[in-house]
Amino acid sequence: MLYVQGGNKHQKKLSQQLFNFCCGDLFPNITKPIIDLNIHPIEDAMAWTDYEGDGKFFIEIESSLAERQFIITFCHEMIHVCQFLAGVEVSEVAAYQHEQDLADRFAQSLTAKA
């Protein structure tokens, strides 16, 4: 379940699409996490994720990001969600290594539907 605060209409719709895609791609066999997403201006970061326990997360994403960077950033944070749920060490290196590929697969899924 994804709850979105802030952002514009397009960012809200895009966030829901990204959430559904990432959940299916990153953890298809487990219950979807509960994420409170806040899209707003953030100083000194593009985004961050906080695990609250029991499959609940809080994510903040910078509202001024261009669409492609927003997609990549959302994917990056969802990789962190996956890491938390898998009980593995949260790694920025791993998230940076996989964010582009996940974002590209998301973009391909959109063109396949069109």
The single-letter code of the amino acid at 114 is A
Cβ atoms of 78 and 105 within 8 Å: the answer is no
pLDDT per residue as tens digits for the range 44-95: 889 999 999 999 999 999 999 999 999 999 999 999 999 999 899 999 999 9
32-46 pLDDT, tens per residue? 999 999 999 999 889
Contact between 70 and 11 (Cβ < 8 Å):
yes
Question: CA–CA separation, 89 vs 19, rounded Å?
Answer: 22
The answer to whether 71 touches 98, Cβ cutoff 8 Å, is no
Domains along the chain? 2-113 (3.40.390)
**Cα 12 from Cα 39, distance rounded (Å):** 9
